[in-house]
Amino acid sequence: MTNVTATLADERSANRASDGLSRISRLKGGGYLTSTASVVLLAAPALKSALESSFMLACLIAGMLASIAGMLLRWRSHQLEQKENGD
């Protein structure tokens, strides 16, 4: 009976750890989505003046895309790190 109790306790502990890690992953994903939304919201006021110059518009779009791509890369690296750790 002692081995069964220990095994159940180990399984419960592992389940709690995996729940915590998935919660961390969800929080990180939510943070990256929030950052992406803020990039779009901050670009909205700049769009009016950027439309006056094609160079400024290209810079604004390139900056937005680079920022969002950076967040996607960080999120993807977090996923790969979790997978390497077996979580």
Q: What is the pLDDT of residue 39?
A: 94
Rounded Cα distance between 42 and 44, Å, is 6
Structural domain range at position 54: 2-84
Provide the domain count of the chain: 1
Q: What is the pLDDT of residue 86?
A: 76
**DSSP, residue by residue, 32-85:** HHHHHHHHHHHHHHHHHHHTT-HHHHHHHHHHHHHHHHHHHHHHHHHHHHHHHT
pTM of the model: 0.66
Per residue in 39-77, pLDDT (tens digit) is 999 999 999 899 999 999 999 999 999 999 999 999 899
Q: Which residues contact 39 (CB under 8 A, 6 or more apart)?
A: 64, 67, 68
Residue type, 21: L
Q: What is the pLDDT of residue 1?
A: 47
